[in-house]
Amino acid sequence: MDHPNVVKLFEAYQDKKRYYIITEMITGGELFDQITKRPYFSERDAAHIMKQVFSAIAYCHANNIVHRDLKPENLLLEGEGSNALIKVIDFGTSQVFDPKKKMK
């Protein structure tokens, strides 16, 4: 997947005991931590974040992928500052879906 608000996966490896994934470096921490640190979010800040999240999810849905575990802990900030990009992570429970069938 190639979208500015979805974490990029570069490589995946496994040995007899573990899986290893190599992704882009994201240093800003979880959105959840920002929510708990700040006394409030302005409407502008919330709209900026949600626009990015909706854009990422619309991209996933257009590619027949459903995330199934969206929460602030699975939204990372690319870096520090109020203009940092949001990155959607943790596609562990995601599924490819057929738009003609009902999901369970």
Among the options 45, 69, 90, 98, which is catalytic? 69
**Residues 87/55, Cβ–Cβ less than 8 Å:** no
Bridge partners, 77 (sequence order): 86
Task: Return all residues near 9 (Cβ < 8 A) that are at least 6 apart.
Answer: 1, 21, 22, 23
Name the residue type at position 55: S
Residue 33 is among the residues annotated as catalytic for this protein: no
Q: Which residues are catalytic?
A: 69
